[in-house]
Amino acid sequence: MTDFLAPVEETIAEAPPPQRGGGAVRYLLTKVGGAIMSVLMVVVLGFFLFRVMPGDPVTIMTRGRPVSGAQLDQLRAEHGFDQPILVQFWNYLVGLLHGDFGNSYAFNAPAGAIIGERLGPTLLLSGTAAVLAAALGLWLGAKTAWYRNGPLDRASTGVALVFWSIPPWWLGVVLLMIAGGVFPTGGMQSPDSPTALVPHALDVAHHMVLPVFTLVLAIYGQYQLVMRASLLEEMNSDYLTTARAKGLRDDMVRRRHALPNALLPTTTLVFLHLGMVVSGAITVEAVYSWPGLGQLTAEALEAKDLPLLQGIFIVLVIAVVIMNLVADVLLRVLDPRVRAS
Amino acid sequence: MTSPVWARRRAAAGRVWREFAANRGGLVGVVVLGLFVLTAILAPLLISESSLDVTRATGQRLESPSGDFPLGTDENGLSVLTLTLWGTRLSLVVGLAAAVLSVLIGTTVGILAGHFGGWLSAVLLRFTDFFLIMPSLVLAIALSAVLEGGAGTIILAIGVVSWPTSARLVRAQTLAVEARPYIERARALGGGHGHVIFKHVLPSVLPLVFVNTTLAVGTAIVAESTLRFLGLGSTSEITWGGLLRSASSSGAITYGAWWYLLPPGIAIVLLVLAFTLVGRALETVLNPKLRERR
């Protein structure tokens, strides 16, 4: 039996030695290659995930509805499920390359077109929330780490933990109940929204207040805790002692020396956690009937619209894969230590 | 047993408990957790089947709290308090089972990837990275939409999508342990893969796995309630997420029925928070470097 209390972290730090050689091009190629692999895996997964069940998607779509055998056969023929699976897979691949995600069962329209319509509102909502949450989380994280174990640290780390434990959609429901009279309760614009650019933007912003607020509260805690840990990691470094020995004020040591180093790993984490933002946005959109991909997911689930669900799945995952690629490249541009290794 | 090995283990366990007890957050978490477990076990004794049966509901639709119904009634006239207490059972079981499944997959993948290098490790890592960046809720939604069924499907969907973090942690720890001299000694004495993995790597990875499971339960409970809120899983099962779904679809939000919307949500938050506090306290105890920092 080994020592039960073996320090975990000390050992984790011993990563395999970094490989020497290979310039920027090779790094980029590896990362792009990895992303392409991931996209291919998503595409394959997207196809087989919706066909793992005995029977076929038509059986699932019509589950719990009175359908005759002839109607089932017709639906199968319509969606091409009567063909051999490999032929179906080939058609699916060719379709995807042409931007064809199949036909939505509930909307009776191409899934790709419906998803395209809903992409903008989701980007607006989750983008705004992610930026605000990152700003709030990084700022609080840096403050709490620098004055660790102070009153601010104790209070705000506790609050962050509580918000982290709250399901975003429930927070949305509660806020809706409290502030539903003051702010619009759903949708992205009023039925009589003004057409001029600025008043229209204000109308949309008014509708965004509650969903963005909900999403920010749901995700900022993660950023705060990561930033706090990252800065604490730097706190005992020798270069900070040097900076202090030079006679720099505490404020300068923090802003010019500690923060930039702590910020780098956190930046990538912000991008890596975008999947979490997407997950949060799905349910928050459903609560506030925000006309984005999240609400579309809820609608597709309600209607058991598998082709649409498959399309949303592929689009969301590919978006996250691309954001991660951006994060990897960005980190290399920003951080000389990554370039050197 | 009185062998010196067991004496040492007991001493170590005692040390861990003393340090854990010094963490106030962790203690609060343990107490809250205990109350929830007690509720889950005692629920069948306190609550009769008939008080959960829609056809035998005694209250009016969305009645506000009163002597008969301390937390009011739902849209069918059933007591919200009774429903919430009963919901503890499934939330706890599904959360635990999904977390255990996820950590089990993660630990297996992590040890395999760390112990065996080469192509196996490369393939497993590629796989882990793929699942790591995947928005897990999206995949869980897709999985539970395709697979029919209740709690079992939800456990499977959450377990299958949430293992990558523990796989990475366990792999790093496996690599670190195997770099130590005593592993080389074990190999030199003729220890095979099985011996090294089960006698040396696994025991030293276990504390980490334990902490990870505790933290994973919280995430799994949130995921479970989210899937239920979106209408996945069987509707005949009483769960906190399912209650909140019925609440919001029966107009409790516009009606201002706080007694219906708050209790299941507060229960979720308390239970998740309890698991998180216990997990963090354990992490601090099992990781001395963290302890001096916090």
- The predicted pLDDT at position A273 comes to 74
Which one is predicted more confidently, A99 or A122? A122
Residue A201: phi, psi to the nearest 5?
-60, -40
Most confident of A75-89, B57-71, B198-212, B245-259: B198-212
Q: Could you give the CA distance from residue A35 to residue A30 in angstroms, rounded to a whole number? A: 9
- The reply to whether residue A8 touches residue B173, judged by beta carbons under 8 angstroms, is yes
Q: What are the tens digits of pLDDT across the range B221-271?
A: 999 999 999 888 777 888 898 888 888 888 777 777 788 888 899 999 999
Q: Could you give the CA distance from residue A287 to residue A303 in angstroms, rounded to a whole number? A: 17
pLDDT at residue A81 is higher than 80: no
- The predicted pLDDT at position A129 comes to 92
**C-alpha separations of B270 from A68, A71, B37 in Å:** 48, 49, 13
Question: Chain B neighbours among A 11-50 (CB < 8 Å)?
Answer: 11-12, 14-16, 34, 37-38, 41, 49-50
Nearest to B247 by CA among B53, B75, B83: B75
pLDDT at residue A1 is higher than 70: no
Indicate the angle between helix axes B151-161 and B80-115, nearest 10 degrees.
Answer: 40
A-chain residue closest to B178, CA distance: A11
- The predicted pLDDT at position B75 comes to 74
- The reply to whether residue B142 touches residue A321, judged by beta carbons under 8 angstroms, is no
Q: Could you give the CA distance from residue A137 to residue A141 in angstroms, rounded to a whole number? A: 6
- The reply to whether residue B293 touches residue A53, judged by beta carbons under 8 angstroms, is no
The closest CB to that of B268, out of A3, A63, A167, belongs to A167
Nearest to B136 by CA among B241, B237, B226: B226
| ipTM for the whole complex | 0.85
pLDDT at residue A163 is higher than 70: yes
- The reply to whether residue B208 touches residue A63, judged by beta carbons under 8 angstroms, is no
Residues whose CB falls within 8 Å of the CB of residue A142, separated by 6 or more in sequence, listed in order: A227, A228, A231, A254, A259, A262
* Predicted structure pTM score: 0.84
Q: For residues A62-86, give the mean pLDDT.
A: 73
> For the ranges A172-181, A326-335, B165-174, B261-270, which has the lowest average pLDDT?
A326-335
* Tally of residues, chain A: 341
